[in-house]
Structure 1
Amino acid sequence: MLVSVVSASLLAPFTIVVAASWIAGVELDIEPLTLFVRLALLIGGCAAAALLARRLAGPP
């Protein structure tokens, strides 16, 4: 489940630009690759922070 959520989140910058252009006829002046990198850094940073917090907390 988590893998599908993360995958969908990382693909969102590409699909949103296409969907907005196709459905609403709106041209977005947004670079999909830039959005992808920012979102990947956000998700990766959260995962790293969670891993660090888990290691600092010690065994349950």
Structure 2
Amino acid sequence: MEKVRDKIFGLYEKFHSNIDSNGIGLYLVYNHITSLGGRIAVESKINEGATFTISFKY
């Protein structure tokens, strides 16, 4: 996570070799959430997976 923390929500960023991926999904989610005043965070561990936490402002 330390290496990619600043890139994970970037446009066209991919961290795997799947050829059918475009790298826009997390970018779109991040922009929608933050434009509505919310926040999104990620925690990840190698060989364990990732946890995304989305907080909405109400």
Q: Which has the higher helix share?
A: 1
- State the TM bucket, normalised to the shorter chain: 0.3 to 0.5
Q: Which has the higher contact order (CA 8 A, sep 6+)?
A: 1
Report the TM-score when normalising by structure 2.
0.32
Larger gyration radius, structure 1 or structure 2: 1
With normalisation by structure 1, the TM-score equals: 0.32
